Amino acid sequence: QVPPFKEECVKDAYPPPASLLVKEYIINLDLAPEERWAELVKEKAELIKNILAKFKEFVRDWGQEAAKLIELVDEKFGKFDDTLPEPFRGELLGIAKYSNLNLGEVVLYNIFYEIFTV
């Protein structure tokens, strides 16, 4: 099939199977920023590591220059957090702590949008 794609307006997609329903978590804003995401990121740490690894692999495929970008992220982006406003700085520090991720990687993950508007 080639674009432009012709629509198929469905009328029976709802409700989808319960297995696709997304689970809810509470983020307590009364906690210190560093503690707010602890429960969630402990549970999802491996999945976050997985997506960052895939992203780095993708960037490395662009060549040596692009690979340098990854080194920059790993080595320098950790210092980048000093420039971020509160409470976000504290929240990112907490996410790095409870997920055992490099702070630079957590910062990268949180500025994905700005990177992908290129």
Partner 1 sequence: CTSIVAEDPSGNLYHARNLDFGLFIGWDIRNETWEITEALKPLIVNLNFQRSGQTVFKSVNYAGYVGILTAVKPKTFTLSMDERFNKDGGFIGIIEWLLGIRTGSWMGFLTRNVMENSTSYSDARDVLSNTEMLAPAYFILGGTKSGEGCVITRDREKTIDIWEMKSAGGWYILETNYDHWTKPLFLDDRRTPANNCMRNMTQTNVSVKGIFNVLSSKPVLNKLTTYTAVMEVSTGHLETYLANCTDPCFPW
Residues found near partner 1 in the complex (CB under 8 A): 1, 3-16, 20-30, 37, 40-41, 43-44, 47-48, 50-51, 54-55, 57-58, 80, 83-85, 88, 91-92, 95, 99, 106, 109-118
Q: How far is the CB of 117 from partner 1 (least distance, A)?
A: 4
In the complex with partner 1, the residue whose CB is nearer, 91 or 104, is: 91
Q: Which two tokens stand for residue 63?
A: 């060549």
Q: How many residues does the chain have?
A: 118
Q: How far is the CB of 36 from partner 1 (least distance, A)?
A: 9
Could you tell me if 37 and 27 are in contact, meaning their C-beta atoms sit under 8 angstroms apart?
yes
Could you tell me if 66 and 35 are in contact, meaning their C-beta atoms sit under 8 angstroms apart?
no
- Does the N-terminal peptide bond of residue 4 adopt cis geometry, omega within 30 degrees of 0? yes
Q: How far is the CB of 106 from partner 1 (least distance, A)?
A: 7
